[in-house]
Structure 1
Amino acid sequence: MSLDTLVLPAVADLASPRAVSIPDIDLGFDKPRAQTRVVVAMSGGVDSSVVAALVQAAGYETIGITLQLYDHGAAVKKQGACCAGQDIHDARRVADRIGIAHYVLDYESRFKEAVIDNFADTYLAGFTPIPCVRCNQSVKFKDLLETARDLGADCLVTGHYVARVAGPDGAEMHRAVDRARDQSYFLFATTRAQLDFLRFPLADLPKPAVREIAAALDLPVAVKPDSQDICFVPNGKYADVVAKLRPGAAEPGQILHLDGRVLGEHAGVIHYTVGQRRGLGVATGEPLFVIRIDATRRAVIVGPKEALAVREVVLSDVNWIGEHVDGEDALDGRAVLARVRSTRPPVPGRLKIGAGWSVVLDAPEEGVAPGQACVFYDPAHGGQRVLGGGWIAATDLTDPRSS
């Protein structure tokens, strides 16, 4: 991608208030751009809108697709979300502004089954889900990608902040230049085949530059706020959504100290997550944190902060997109940088391959919650390349007092 100013008819037709440096998007095909069909996933936000404008400005045959994922009016009333209500309207306005075909596809039933229902069931099982990963994994990069192929597209383009880099063994996933916006953690489940078909034009752009382009091209979403939290969860109240989806499923139980003492009762495990300190409703004279959740016993186990220390993370449904190897056993002991939360930096560790996959961390990490993801990065070159990841199924909790 170069940052040379383009003077293309598609851009010149827009009433830009000033000259602007427009990135020339090269999607890497050996044929004329006008004969290259590109589907752009348009959520109605500024990132995907700028991507659509840049792809169209670069001369590709551009088709915008917006997914309606839930009934914004009937299900939840939340502003700043994506893929419903006002956001669909905004995507349509952007498509009209830049002059591309735009379609809205009803994926509501698929989204409910693959994402919303999974979210509720995962919480009830005592885990802490990441619905954004499930959405990318099951809806956007599976169903939408297949739809793009059905339309004869050469690739699917999204506004994610992540990089696709051509490597010696095929396409690689790398972290975005803007580390504050990097979304590689949420895309760890992307397969090699999907990565071959995907393109991410925002990899080299910081967010302020994206907004500058949107303003220069007079896109109607240039100053639209970024979406916050989970799109179908109003006001961040996860437990309310679970209770609505699974009425009566959240049963009360006991709050137990690590030493076995019964400290109180709770109204349902859905109100708690590993590492939580506030709102426990118990007091012993010492700071207490949720250490683990035993949904089978309906028990919330609490203890001191140091009891949150985790050295080994047990994984399920691992997706490996690193170097090609002859069998999983070849990765046993492989050094990685492991990221156990989207808000945490990657930390050193090693893969452990036995009956299943796990990561043994060089130093303990606190607040590692089953249901979250553990994403692997290559320690070489500053951890830029994404090697894959898996879902955290269990943790080896190391209580320093027992050592």
Structure 2
Amino acid sequence: MARILVMMSGGVDSSVAAGLLLEQGHEVTGVTLRLADAPADSGRVGGCCSLQDVEDARCVAHFLGIPHYSLNEKDLFTRTVLANFAEEYHRGRTPNPCYRCNQWVKFDHVLHWAETLGFEKVATGHYASLQEQNGSIYLKRGADRNKDQTYFLASIRKEVLSRLVFPLGHLTKPEVRQIAERMGLATADKGESQELCFAHDLDYRKALGEGAPGDLVNIEGEKVGQHHGIEGYTIGQRKGIGLSGGPFYVVQMDSGMNQVVIGPEECLYANEVEAGELNRFREIREGEVLSAFPRYRHPGSPARIESVGEESLRLRFLTPERALTPGQVMALYEGDVLVAGSIIGKVRMTEDSKSV
């Protein structure tokens, strides 16, 4: 049996993860991260940062009879995740803060902290699995495809996978709630958060501050209106543009010119992506076809690897994709096994696909 540190958010998933490991005979300790300020009376449910969430995790740990720590990591979170979030939006890109939090906080800083205290493994309530293949360990999609979270875990370094445990990988959400009820956990019927942990009123724009107004232009470059800051827009957006006629969609953002480009829906389609910050779990070969997920809960689309560099790649979807968004995560899979994570950069429609 192992000494395992469980990251407990105060929700049902991590509560059950801790309970299952305890039932298996492991020496379990819980830890809850304070990442951003959220008032206890904010009305949030199932998040990871409010005082109520910390208290819920503490109560579950007490009920299970395991030690519990609360770590204040607001400074680290602000310097890394929040800083990147703001920088990306100011550049006209759409970031994924959960991906970054896993990269810089949960599976980097916490792993180091756990190792310092002598824990052999770190566990979470993510819906993901680990699979050994040809002597290496890989992340594999969870059994519950509606809850699979390997997309958000694609930033984890390959070398730390052997130190991780995902007790819920073989379970569905309803099964997890049933286990929580069997265990008598107070979080059994706790709701799930649908928001960013640092945007408590569901409006991330308030976390970014005021943006600089600029021009709305059509695809010919003609001014057709004014925007109130590119931070308030994302690729594929239709609502809130403020123009009559249409329908119009946000098809591009130019932070250098402070312009938001709008156009018809057909302008949203592209088939070629240049992606950076490549985090690979195995060698990627030019010419191979992988299943690409350009956003969470995407069904996955076949894409051919055109070129691979040390930290970037270029791929081409076999069928053009709608609203490929710079700044978003591009996760690549071979079957159910995660091959790589990356960040979408430039997107375009190649000439030979414009008739598709």
Q: Is the structural similarity TM-score above 0.5?
A: yes
How far residue 343 of structure 1 moved from its aligned partner, in angstroms, is 2.8
Quote the residue 1:110 is aligned against. 76
Provide the C-alpha distance between the structure 1 equivalents of 2:331 and 2:348, rounded to a whole number of angstroms.
Answer: 17
Matching of residue 339 in structure 1 with residue 305 in structure 2: no
1:313 counterpart (240, 259, 273): 273
Provide the C-alpha distance between the structure 1 equivalents of 2:21 and 2:221, rounded to a whole number of angstroms.
Answer: 60
Quote the residue 2:44 is aligned against. 79
How far residue 157 of structure 1 moved from its aligned partner, in angstroms, is 0.6
Quote the residue 2:229 is aligned against. 268
Quote the residue 2:168 is aligned against. 202
Quote the residue 2:264 is aligned against. 304
Question: 1:151-172 CA distances to partner (integer Å, 9 max, x unpaired)?
Answer: 1111101100011112213111
Change over 3 Å in CA distance of 1:196–1:41 after alignment to 2: same
Question: TM-score, normalized by length of structure 2?
Answer: 0.95
SS of the aligned residue for 1:264 comes to strand
SS of the aligned residue for 2:132 comes to strand
Provide the C-alpha distance between the structure 2 equivalents of 1:52 and 1:402, rounded to a whole number of angstroms.
Answer: 52
Quote the residue 1:193 is aligned against. 159
Provide the C-alpha distance between the structure 1 equivalents of 2:320 and 2:225, rounded to a whole number of angstroms.
Answer: 29
Query: What pairs with 1:207-286 in structure 2 (closer than 5 Å)?
Result: 207-243=173-209, 248=210, 250-283=211-244, 285-286=245-246
Provide the C-alpha distance between the structure 2 equivalents of 1:94 and 1:207, rounded to a whole number of angstroms.
Answer: 19
- Contact persistence 1:309–1:399 (CA under 8 A): no
SS of the aligned residue for 2:152 comes to helix
Provide the C-alpha distance between the structure 2 equivalents of 1:78 and 1:91, rounded to a whole number of angstroms.
Answer: 17
Question: 1:49-80 CA distances to partner (integer Å, 9 max, x unpaired)?
Answer: 00001111111111111111122239x94512
Quote the residue 2:315 is aligned against. 359
Provide the C-alpha distance between the structure 2 equivalents of 1:269 and 1:340, rounded to a whole number of angstroms.
Answer: 21
Question: 1:11-42 CA distances to partner (integer Å, 9 max, x unpaired)?
Answer: xxxxxxxxxxxxxxxxxxxxxx2xx2111111
Provide the C-alpha distance between the structure 2 equivalents of 1:399 and 1:350, rounded to a whole number of angstroms.
Answer: 17
How far residue 107 of structure 1 moved from its aligned partner, in angstroms, is 0.7
Quote the residue 1:10 is aligned against. none
Question: TM-score, normalized by length of structure 1?
Answer: 0.84
| Cα RMSD (Å) | 1.8
How far residue 402 of structure 1 moved from its aligned partner, in angstroms, is 7.0
Quote the residue 1:389 is aligned against. 341
Provide the C-alpha distance between the structure 2 equivalents of 1:315 and 1:50, rounded to a whole number of angstroms.
Answer: 36
- Contact persistence 1:307–1:399 (CA under 8 A): no
- Bigger-Rg structure (1/2): 1
Question: 1:76-95 CA distances to partner (integer Å, 9 max, x unpaired)?
Answer: 94512213310000000000
SS of the aligned residue for 1:278 comes to coil
Question: 1:215-270 CA distances to partner (integer Å, 9 max, x unpaired)?
Answer: 11111111110121211112321212111xxxx5x110000000222110011001
Unaligned regions of 5+ residues in structure 2, if any?
none
Deviates more, 1:229-238 or 1:297-306: 229-238
Quote the residue 1:376 is aligned against. 332
Q: Give the letter for the 1:262 counterpart.
A: K
Percent same amino acid at aligned positions? 37
SS of the aligned residue for 1:186 comes to coil
Provide the C-alpha distance between the structure 2 equivalents of 1:260 and 1:116, rounded to a whole number of angstroms.
Answer: 33
Q: Give the letter for the 1:122 counterpart.
A: E
How far residue 354 of structure 1 moved from its aligned partner, in angstroms, is 5.2
Provide the C-alpha distance between the structure 1 equivalents of 2:208 and 2:24, rounded to a whole number of angstroms.
Answer: 44
Q: Give the letter for the 1:177 counterpart.
A: A
Provide the C-alpha distance between the structure 2 equivalents of 1:273 and 1:206, rounded to a whole number of angstroms.
Answer: 32
How far residue 399 of structure 1 moved from its aligned partner, in angstroms, is 8.6
- Contact persistence 1:253–1:268 (CA under 8 A): yes
- Contact persistence 1:189–1:389 (CA under 8 A): yes
Provide the C-alpha distance between the structure 2 equivalents of 1:107 and 1:185, rounded to a whole number of angstroms.
Answer: 23
- Contact persistence 2:94–2:326 (CA under 8 A): yes
Q: Give the letter for the 2:170 counterpart.
A: D
Q: Give the letter for the 1:350 counterpart.
A: R
Provide the C-alpha distance between the structure 1 equivalents of 2:43 and 2:85, rounded to a whole number of angstroms.
Answer: 18
Q: Give the letter for the 1:277 counterpart.
A: R
Kindly tell me the number of residue pairs found equivalent between the two proteins.
352
2:119 counterpart (153, 157, 168): 153
Provide the C-alpha distance between the structure 2 equivalents of 1:402 and 1:347, rounded to a whole number of angstroms.
Answer: 18
Deviates more, 1:81-90 or 1:171-180: 81-90
How far residue 294 of structure 1 moved from its aligned partner, in angstroms, is 0.5
Quote the residue 1:14 is aligned against. none
Provide the C-alpha distance between the structure 2 equivalents of 1:369 and 1:353, rounded to a whole number of angstroms.
Answer: 20
- Contact persistence 1:307–1:398 (CA under 8 A): no
Change over 3 Å in CA distance of 1:52–1:354 after alignment to 2: closer
Matching of residue 293 in structure 1 with residue 256 in structure 2: no
Matching of residue 348 in structure 1 with residue 302 in structure 2: yes
- Contact persistence 1:37–1:60 (CA under 8 A): yes
SS of the aligned residue for 2:87 comes to helix
Q: Give the letter for the 2:324 counterpart.
A: V
Provide the C-alpha distance between the structure 2 equivalents of 1:146 and 1:279, rounded to a whole number of angstroms.
Answer: 44
Provide the C-alpha distance between the structure 2 equivalents of 1:82 and 1:205, rounded to a whole number of angstroms.
Answer: 21
Q: Give the letter for the 1:305 counterpart.
A: E
SS of the aligned residue for 1:119 comes to helix
